[in-house]
Amino acid sequence: MIGYTVGAPAGALRRAVGPYVGYTERAAYPLARREVAVSRCVLVLGWGVPLDVRDPRGPSGGATGVASFAAGLSDSYVDTLTAPGTAAGIQVMLDPLVAARLLGRPFGEVANRVVAVSMLDGAGLRDLRALPDRLGAATRWDERFALLDRAFGARLADTPEPDRRLAGAWRQLRLSGGGIPVDRLATLTGWSRRHLSAVFRRELGLPPKVLARLIRFERAYGSAGRAASDGWAAVAADAGYYDQAHLIRDFRTFTGSTPSRLTPPPADSPALQTAATQA
C-alpha cells in the first residue's frame, strides 16, 4: 500500500525543480518494479527501508541498499527491489542541467549510474547529504517541502548558470519533441557537430541523438493509454516516429518490453505523471 503527498516548490524554484512527490509505502514482502528510462534526473531522498537498483547491463549501473540516491540519465531501463517494511521519502524530477548544479558536478559523471546521496563528495554538498535525516525527523510534509525549498534554493544561488549555448540547444531539443536535427542544433550553438556531441555527453550524460530518441519515447509512453483506441501506429506518428518499427525498438531499449506487452503506468501515480508531463 502506497500513499502520496505532492507539494509545489516555492517561488522561482518552480521554474527549475519539479513537484515534490512525498510517499509512504508499507509492504510485508519485497517489491519488484521496472523503472523506464526518463530524460530527467530522478532524485530520491528517503528515510525508510532501502532498495536495490539493478541495471540489466551489469552492476556498474546499479546500487545496493540505498534509500537516498540520484539517478543520472540512462539509455536503458532498470529494475528495483524494495525491502519489506516501510519505505518513505520524497522524489523530485530534475532537469539534468539543474541537477548538475545541485550535485556539484557535470551530469555526465552520473550517466547510466545510480549514486547514493551519502557518497556525494564535496564540502558544498554537506547540506544535501544531511537532508534525508532532516526530512525523516520532520513530522509533516509541508515542513519537509520547506526544507527542500531552502536547501535547493541555497544551492542554486551558490552555483553558476550553465553555458547559454548548451542550455539553448537542450531547450530546443526538448521543445521539438526530439525532432530537431543534430546539425541544426550545432548551427544554433556555433559548434561543430562533434563538439556539440562531446559537450552533451559531458554535461548531460548522453549524446544528442540518444536524447532525441529518449524524448520521443517519453511522449509515446505518456500516450500509452491511447493505444487501445487509436492504435500504436497513431501513437508513434504523434510522438514523431518515422514508423511503428522505430517505436518498438525504443520501447525495447528503454522499457525492456514491446509496447503491446508493456503494462501502462498507473494513472494515479504522481511520480509517473511528473515524469510524463515534464517530458
Q: Which residues of the chain have pLDDT under 50?
A: 272-279
Picking from 74, 57, 15, 33, the residue whose alpha carbon sits closest to that of residue 217 is 74
pLDDT at 124: 75
Q: Quick one: which of 71, 67, 88 has its CA closest to 141?
A: 88
**What pLDDT score does 187 carry?**
96
pLDDT of residue 225: 85
The pLDDT value recorded for residue 122 is 79
Backbone torsion region of residue 25, taken as left when φ is above 0, otherwise alpha when ψ lies between -120 and 50, otherwise beta: beta
| H helices present in 114-231, as ranges | 126-137, 141-157, 164-175, 182-189, 193-203, 208-222, 227-230
Query: Which of these, 23, 18, 71, lies nearest to 47 by C-alpha position?
Result: 23
pTM of the model: 0.91
Q: Which pLDDT score is estimated for 272?
A: 45
- Residue pair 41/111 in contact (Cβ under 8 Å)? The answer is no
- Domains (range + CATH), the chain: 2-157 (2.60.120), 164-277 (1.10.10.60)
Give the pLDDT confidence score for residue 177 in this predicted structure.
Answer: 95
Q: What is the pLDDT of residue 35?
A: 94
Chain segment 6-22, per-residue pLDDT in tens: 999 998 899 889 899 99
Q: Which amino acid is at 141?
A: W
pLDDT value of position 75 = 94
